[in-house]
Structure 1
Amino acid sequence: MSINEPDNAASRQATQQPGQQSAEPLAEDASESAEMQRDAETQDDSDIELRPSSVPWPPLLLAGFAALAIILGYAAPIEWPGVDDTPARFIGLGIGVLGIVLVVWGIVTLRTHDTTMLPDVGATHLVTSGPFWRFRNPIYLGDAMILLGAAELTKNIWLVGAAAAFAALVTKLAIVPEERHLERRFGQAYLDYKSRSRRWI
């Protein structure tokens, strides 16, 4: 080879336009990005299998909406649209008491099966007995019924709104992730249970 003839590497470098990037770094960046995305998805799958959520949403939502409804009941009261008589009060009391029964029954059933009742901790057993035979979320249903019963007894219409808002947000933030967690954890056994039970009523 003549000393005046540039080698291949020098020739490629000389012909590369200013600002032009090699395809190799771009390919490496794309590969790293795809790998990071796969790692993130794997981490999400692993997290949902370990626990449904990192935040205990149900008690936070229940306490927050109840407190807000009580404050609004004093600050911006709205006239109760229904009747205020003894039968109506007994109906309200019955709804509230039934809600309390569901909550207590659900907690006792979970403890009997040695699994957690905390919404941000992974389940160790699939519980399908007690109130869970019919309802997949008897504790949350009971919470909403307690708010409705309190609304009838106190004639605070804001508590009705609190019950509706609690049901909507607890479904999105707690129930849906819990269902994904239980499906990952227990597979077909949970899907079979899900097919014969109700999310709410």
Structure 2
Amino acid sequence: MGATHGGYTYLMANRNPVLRPRTLMLPPAPYAVAVLGGWWLDRYQLSLPLDLGAATRPLGWLAVALGLALFIWTLWTFARHRTTVNPYGGASALCTGGPFRFSRNPIYLGDWFILAGVSLLLGTVWPLVFAPLIWITIRFGVIRHEEAHLEAKFGDAYRDYTTRVRRWI
């Protein structure tokens, strides 16, 4: 599939879901915006404290650690299968083992743990207030395109996988 312009043919890689997903944004961006925006709103506009007493900080660190562990486990799984973690790159293998046995999106699941943990560590509810917007952005700006790419590239193997493993948990 290509486009011709001035006698030259250009490969339409950006539109072909077999070659790569058409991801609209870098996936950590909405989480970072929520954390920074939440911190700013809490500090300078309206404080919405999140305080679970003495458990607040340990629970925050535990959630961050769980999120990072899930991220590292997923990276290790990608490396073992020699495929990319790059949300703009095409997958060379369909990962169904490791954390992908439990979630089709373990990195994004880890990001949710980190968001909750950072909210606890900052002591504000604000980043969590943005959770519905983050979910919509990730679901339709990233995951939809990744799923289209995986289905176009791996076909029935991917469709079978989606019947066995939930999108989140």
TM-score of Structure 1 vs Structure 2, range by shorter chain: 0.7 to 0.9
Cα gap change, 1:111/1:141 in structure 2, threshold over 3 Å: closer, same or farther? same
Give runs of ≥4 in structure 1 deviating > 4 Å.
Answer: 43-46
Secondary structure in 2 aligned to 1:48? Answer: coil
Cα 1:75/1:86, change in 2 over 3 Å: same
Contact 1:52 1:120 (8 Å CA) reproduced: yes
Q: Can you give the 5+ residue segments of structure 1 that lack an aligned partner in the other structure?
A: 1-42
Quote the RMSD (CA, aligned, Å).
2.1
Tell me how far apart the structure 1 counterparts of residues 86 and 24 of structure 2 sit (CA, whole Å): 10
Amino acid corresponding to residue 21 of structure 2 in structure 1:
P
Query: Following superposition of structure 1 onto structure 2, how do residues 27-42 of structure 1 map, counting pairs within 5 Å?
Result: none
- Specify the alignment match of 1:196 in structure 2: 164
- 5 Å matches for 1:69-84? 69-80=38-49, 83-84=51-52
Q: 1:166 to 1:116 in 2, by over 3 A?
A: same
Show structure 2 runs of 5+ residues with no match. 1-11
How far apart are 1:106 and its partner, in Å?
A: 0.9
2:14–2:22 contact (8 Å) kept in structure 1: no
What code does the residue aligned with 2:32 have?
Answer: A
Contact 1:137 1:200 in 2 (8 A): yes
Query: 1:179 is matched with which residue?
Result: 147
TM-score by length of 2: 0.83
Which one-letter code corresponds to 2:90 in the other structure? G
Equivalent of 1:48 in 9, 12, 17: 17
1:139 aligns with 2:139: no
The letter for the 1-side match of 2:94 is L
Q: 2:106, 2:132 → 1: CA distance?
A: 16
Return the alpha-carbon distance in structure 2 between the equivalents of residues 87 and 196 of structure 1: 36
Q: Does 1:152 align with 2:120?
A: yes
**How far apart, CA to CA, are the structure 1 residues paired with 2:154 and 2:97?**
16
Scaled by the length of structure 1, the TM-score of the pair is: 0.71
In terms of fraction of residues, the more strand-rich structure is: 2
Pair 1:126-2:126 in alignment: no
Which residue of 2 is the match for residue 63 of structure 1? 32
Q: Percent identity?
A: 35
Q: Deviations over 1:158-183 (max 9, x none)?
A: 12124443222101111111111101
Amino acid at match of 2:61: L
Residue 68 of structure 2 is aligned with which of 100, 109, 113?
100
By relative contact order (CA 8 Å, sep 6+), the higher-ranking structure is 2
From 34, 51, 54, give the equivalent of 1:86: 54
